[in-house]
Amino acid sequence: MMSDMDLLPDPIFAPLLSGYAVPGDQSAVAVASARAESGEAGAGDLFWSRRTDRLDCALVLEPEVDAAGTLAMIPLAMVALADSLGAIGPPNLGITFVWPNIILANGAVVGKIDIRLPTATKPGDEPPYACLSIALDITWQEGAQDEPGRDLNRTVLYEEGCGDLDRTMILESWTRHFLTWLDTWTQDGFRPVHESWLFRAHKRDGDCSLALKGETIEGSFLGLDEAGGIMIKTQHQTRLVSLADYWFETRWTEKP
């Protein structure tokens, strides 16, 4: 399954977005960040890779809130992605989430959502830009894992009954749903995002474990706060871990 032979039509976006193709051997979020840093890209510019085995894209945002608040775009983008796959995917496709940014398809990791901020940004800073990125595996990358079932913790959409879906279809669908959810968030706040995210939370009624700053936090998953942070009921108390605490501690990498 070739990843460097792009015979798909280019995606068509809503007027609020401007699309820019990136060669398949380059990272969309790296290109988006470099362009935003230099002032060549701004809000609404969407960089997408010509890879066909993976949806690799990055949307430039110009937040009007601090870095901690900007990270709330992650659960919003996750909800939009789940809705978009639900709209165009097969009925047996179960998309669920693992906090803070992992996407599962029928219980196995298929991708993630991330945000890249300017270097040296602190939680209270208002960043001049942020790059919201998606990495979503559609088919096995050639030369890598080409046999289903080799790693039961990972999958690709093709193996989950999504053989009719391609990068362009998914990207167009995601942008439509993202803009709809962004409008909902603007009008109604984070609560609708929170409710939709919780509905798709993986093992939302079970126990969870989170490593942060050398500490392992274990307990029952209670939900999210209004900024997308996770609430865990431990043996002695209820702990809140904000997206900002986790993001600035772990510095998420590009690959899920």
**What pLDDT, in 10s, does the model give residues 65-99?**
999 999 999 999 999 999 999 999 999 999 999 99
Nearest residue to 243 (alpha-carbon basis) of 120, 69, 121: 69
Residue in the structure block whose two tokens are 């790296």: 30
Which pLDDT does position 60 carry in this prediction?
98
- On the question of pLDDT at 156 being above 50, the answer is yes
Which pLDDT does position 25 carry in this prediction?
95
The structural domains of the chain, ordered by start, are 18-200 (3.30.930.10), 207-247 (2.30.30)
- Helix (H) / strand (E) element for 105: namely strand 102-105
Nearest residue to 59 (alpha-carbon basis) of 51, 68, 70, 69: 70
Instruction: Answer whether the bond into residue 91 is a cis peptide, omega within 30°.
Output: no
> What is the end-to-end Cα distance of the chain in Å, rounded?
20
Which pLDDT does position 91 carry in this prediction?
95
Give the residue-averaged pLDDT of 142-152: 60
